[in-house]
Amino acid sequence: MTGWIAVEDIDGTVSESDTTTVTSKISKGDRVQIKKGATWYGGTKTLASWLYEKIWIVDEVVGNRAVLGKDTNNVFDIQSPIDTKCLVKK
């Protein structure tokens, strides 16, 4: 094969145009887990560690604000807002 090779391809770096971000849209009824280090929507204090261990059901989504309701074990119903970037679909 012949042709030119970009220098960034030789040294292992990736150019900005080569990166792709895939995000899953969070919707009402989705089962989600909270990412470690997350804060409540608009807050700055990290959450209690037990919240990260649970799978939650999304009750409402408006823009990037999701409201978490019950956990999948039907023990807790927290009704708390969180940024969708802090959630992972399960």
- What pLDDT shows up at residue 24? 72
pLDDT of residue 5: 56
pLDDT value, residue 8: 58
Rounded Cα–Cα distance for residues 22 and 39 (Å): 22
Strand pairing of 77-83 and 65-71? Answer: antiparallel
Please answer whether residues 39 and 48 qualify as being in contact, where contact means their C-beta atoms are separated by less than 8 angstroms. no
pLDDT in tens, 4-63: 655 555 555 444 444 444 457 999 999 999 999 999 999 999 999 999 999 999 999 999
